[in-house]
Amino acid sequence: MVDLDNVSAYRQFDKLGMLDHLHAFPEQCEKAWQKVLKFELPHLHAKMSNVVILGMGGSAIGGDIARRLAMAESKAPVWVHRDYGLPAFVDESTLVIASSYSGNTEETLSAFTKSLGIRSKKLAITSGGKLQQLAQKEGIPVFIIDYQAPPRAAFPHSFIPLVGIFQKLGLIEDKSADLKEAVDILKKLSGDVIETNPLASNPAKQLANKLRGHIAVVYGAEMLSEVARRWKGEFNENSKAWAFFENFPELNHNAVVGYEFPSDAKERILVFMLRSSSLHPRNLLRYEVTAELLTKAGIAYEFVEATGKSALAQILSLVLLGDYASFYLSMLNEVDPTSTDAINLVKQRLAQSPASSD
């Protein structure tokens, strides 16, 4: 088994440099923010009644979290569409934002292409590919991602630009101060979770060490519900591990009843409860009661606290912590955190079958 404090052992598995992207996370948040502040938007906000973000996987999670931020302030609903085609409500008053890091995501291209037949307002976020070509051909504004990384490691460039765009459109208030707080916290947190900080004082290594040999189930409430989704995806892709996520308060209406069976699964489950003191008091109480139920059922759990005062700082601090934990788990699992062979196989098989006209 890899010793997490033996940094030289990482090179055997992290051959494509996922760790370098984790190191760059705070700086990339700053760069993405400065870039989106300079990004010129046409009058997309005129008569805009709703927003639909198109995306999949690592390109969609930024939309999920930005949507949760907007829910607290925006009167215009924000929807994240992870599928082919478009929701039927999309019309000329809808702002459609297509987010695809590669620009070649099949489902996103399907949805974006369909939107071209509707007089909706449109915007694209991508590093290139077919999406950039199509958008530029149609005269649609494109926010270009100029950071080279696997889509999930380019999270600052799929999330922060949406925050800036929402701010420019008047959907949310100015987040400049919150972003500064977040980056300051990220820089400090990076020192705590960096690979040279030993297991004894490294919270990300400790989480990974506890999770080794277990299935992660990640709980979150409100703004942290989509961070729980992010953790789940990172454990899947980086660690090559089973993982699931659930949201409060919904999980108290079903999931808690399922703690009993199968009984032999209990010792293989580890529940992470992402928590913040700024959550609704009733949800905080639900965390405590759920912990009692987990203890009674003999299922291990861990509270993981967000850092910072603003929602943006709390979100980003937990995202970075989860990213590092998933990396360290990949080392314990002795797998390459960058490769996604199973996803590539699905894409190859789909490519062998002609796409429909949608």
Where residue 95 sits, what CATH number does that domain have?
A: 3.40.50.10490
Tokens of 12: 């055997």
Q: Token pair for residue 139? A: 């005269």
DSSP 8: G
> If you average pLDDT over residues 177-199, what whole number do you get?
98
pLDDT in tens, 208-220: 999 999 999 999 9
Instruction: Please report whether residue 349 resides in a domain.
Output: no
| Residue 357 pLDDT | 46
Span 192-202, average pLDDT: 98
Q: Show the domain range for 142.
A: 18-174
Q: Give yes or no: residues 110 and 225 share one domain.
A: no
Co-location of 125 and 268 in the same domain: no
Structure tokens at 106: 């099949």
pLDDT for 270: 98
On whether both 113 and 251 belong to a single domain, the answer is no
The confidence score (pLDDT) of residue 218 equals 99
Q: Does the pLDDT at position 358 exceed 80? A: no
Specify whether 240 is catalytic: no
pLDDT tens, residue by residue, 329-347: 999 999 999 999 999 999 9
- Give the whole-number percent of the chain exceeding pLDDT 70: 98
Q: What is the pLDDT of residue 44?
A: 67
Q: Does any domain span residue 183?
A: no
Same-domain check for residues 264 and 152: no
| Same domain as 317, residue 200 | yes
Q: What pLDDT does residue 169 have?
A: 93
DSSP E strands in the chain: the ranges are: 50-54, 78-81, 94-100, 121-126, 142-144, 215-221, 243-248, 269-275, 300-305
Band (45; pLDDT cuts 50, 70, 90): low
Instruction: From 174, 202, 230, give the residue that closes a domain.
Output: 174
Is 358 among the domain residues? no
Per the CB < 8 A criterion, the answer to whether 207 and 196 are in contact is no
The number of domains in the chain is 2
Instruction: Summarize pLDDT for 221-239 with one digit per residue, the tens.
Output: 999 999 999 999 999 999 9
pLDDT digits (tens, 9 = 90+) for 138-156: 999 999 999 999 999 999 9
Residues 170, 269 within the same domain: no
Query: Does residue 337 fall inside a structural domain?
Result: no
The answer on pLDDT for 43 being more than 80 is no
How far CA 143 is from CA of 161, 168, 296, in Å, comes to 8, 14, 50
Cα 241–chain centre separation: 17
Residue 80 lies in a domain: yes
Q: What is the pLDDT of residue 346?
A: 95
Question: Among the three residues 143, 174, 205, which one is the final residue of a domain in this structure?
Answer: 174
Told to judge if 347 belongs to the known catalytic residues of this protein, a careful annotator would answer: yes
- 3-class DSSP assignment, residue 250: helix
138 with 263, same domain? no
pLDDT score recorded for residue 354: 73
Is 179 part of a structural domain of the chain? no
The answer to whether 90 touches 120, Cβ cutoff 8 Å, is yes
Helix, strand, or coil (residue 125): strand
End position of a domain, from candidates 119, 146, 174: 174
- Gyration radius of the chain over CA positions: 20
Pick the catalytic residue: 40, 253, 292, 296? 253
Q: Which two tokens stand for residue 153?
A: 């490691």
With 60 as the cut, is the pLDDT of residue 279 above it?
A: yes
155 and 43 assigned to the same domain: yes
Which own/partner pairs from 18-23 qualify as long-range (CB within 8 Å, at least 24 positions apart)?
Answer: 18/150, 18/153, 18/238, 18/327, 18/330, 18/337, 18/338, 19/195, 19/327, 21/149, 21/150, 21/153, 21/154, 22/153, 22/320, 22/323, 22/324, 22/327, 23/190, 23/194
Question: Does 182 reside within a domain?
Answer: no
Residues 168, 43 share a domain: yes
**Annotated catalytic, 237?**
yes
Q: Is residue 341 part of a domain?
A: no
C-alpha distance from residue 165 to each of 33, 125, 136, 291 (Å): 10, 11, 19, 38
Catalytic residue among 181, 222, 234, 237: 237
Q: State whether 121 and 156 are in the same domain.
A: yes
Q: What is the pLDDT of residue 355?
A: 65
pLDDT at 356: 55
User: Which two structure tokens, joined as six digits, stand for 55?
Assistant: 């995306």
Q: Which of 15, 188, 280, 347 is catalytic?
A: 347
> Are 40 and 70 found together in one domain?
yes
Q: What is the pLDDT of residues 46-102, one digit of tens each?
A: 779 999 999 999 999 999 999 999 999 999 999 999 999 999 999 999 999 999 999
Do 219 and 313 share a domain, yes or no? yes
